[in-house]
Amino acid sequence: AKRAVAIALRTRWRRQRLSEDLRDEVMPKNIIMIGPTGVGKTEISRRLAKLSAAPFIKVEASKFTEVGYVGRDVESMIRELTQLAINITKDEKTQTVREKSRRLAEERMLDLLLPSPSQRFPQAQTQPQPQDAAYTDATREKLRAQLKDGKLDDRMIELDVREKMVPFGVISNVGMEDLEMNLKEMLGGLFPGKSKKRKVKVKEAMNIIAEEEVQRLIDMDEVIKEAISKVEESG
């Protein structure tokens, strides 16, 4: 069984690296593993999916043969697999932008700890003097060092936190998965997240801001495109 799945994985890997005109000549093959419960069929599949960073779900397919199930209901397996692929791809993208998000979060935190003169006095008409700017820069660098050393972790600050609002959900039933998914997507667009002021410690605020920056840096259209490709090629 291990040899068979290894050959199948090699075929898919080779196909992904061929040009478009040759890709159709190498068709990926599916494998049906047959054996009694407990011999390791699922474990082989799960480890193979982990090695290849491919989406993997385990579904008891016999329930889809019951009376009342139709093609649209069986498609829920594909939707679940696609959602899993989106989560995997998003996690990969998150790791690539994590360092940049921490740097951006640090700058935003310094803006909260030491607002610029224009932020503190928005109605002021005079320009800041060079000596004032130099003093502000020096203080900012001092705060940056303290922030990196963790000396400001317990300081309380007021932070605008955006909360995603979904007014209600729909109880899923046979044939209701599409309705639930579409309603949540539509209502999520109609009711955007609201900003709420919270008093939190600097350490917690850094994590919140860094997560917001991660969401800004990740292109979800690209994530979905890659996830669909993963499902088609290796799911």
Distance, CA of 96 to CA of 52 (rounded, Å) = 18
End-to-end Cα distance, the chain: 18
User: In the prediction, which pLDDT does 175 show?
Assistant: 46
| 136 and 221 part of one domain | yes
For residue 209, is it within any domain?
A: yes
pLDDT score of 122 more than 60? no
| 75 and 153 part of one domain | no
Total domains in the fold of the chain? 2
For residue 37, is it within any domain?
A: yes
| 11 and 104 part of one domain | no
What would the pLDDT profile of 135-173 be if each residue is shown by its tens digit? 777 888 888 888 888 888 888 888 877 766 544 444 444
| 156 and 213 part of one domain | yes
Report residue 179's pLDDT band, with 50, 70 and 90 as the boundaries: very low
| 136 and 43 part of one domain | no
| 76 and 25 part of one domain | yes
DSSP for 104-156 reads HHHHHHHHHHS--HHHH-TT--SPPPHHHHHHHHHHHHHHHHHHHHTTTTT-E
β partners of residue 198 = 159
| 112 and 83 part of one domain | no
| 24 and 81 part of one domain | yes
pLDDT score of 183 more than 70? no
Q: Which domain holds residue 33?
A: 1-64+71-89
Quick one: DSSP state of residue 61? G
Quick one: DSSP state of residue 187? H
User: In the prediction, which pLDDT does 172 show?
Assistant: 46
pLDDT score of 103 more than 60? yes
For residue 141, is it within any domain?
A: yes
Cβ-Cβ contacts under 8 Å for 79 (sequence gap 6 or more): 177, 181
- CATH for 25: 3.40.50.300
Tokens encoding 186 = 């539509």
Q: Which of 126-130, 162-166, 186-190, 203-207 has the lowest mean pLDDT?
A: 186-190
pLDDT score of 186 more than 50? no
| 76 and 99 part of one domain | no
| 146 and 224 part of one domain | yes
Distance, CA of 59 to CA of 231 (rounded, Å) = 16
| 101 and 53 part of one domain | no
What would the pLDDT profile of 55-77 be if each residue is shown by its tens digit? 665 555 555 555 655 555 566 76
What would the pLDDT profile of 19-41 be if each residue is shown by its tens digit? 877 777 777 666 777 778 788 87
| 12 and 36 part of one domain | yes
For residue 224, is it within any domain?
A: yes
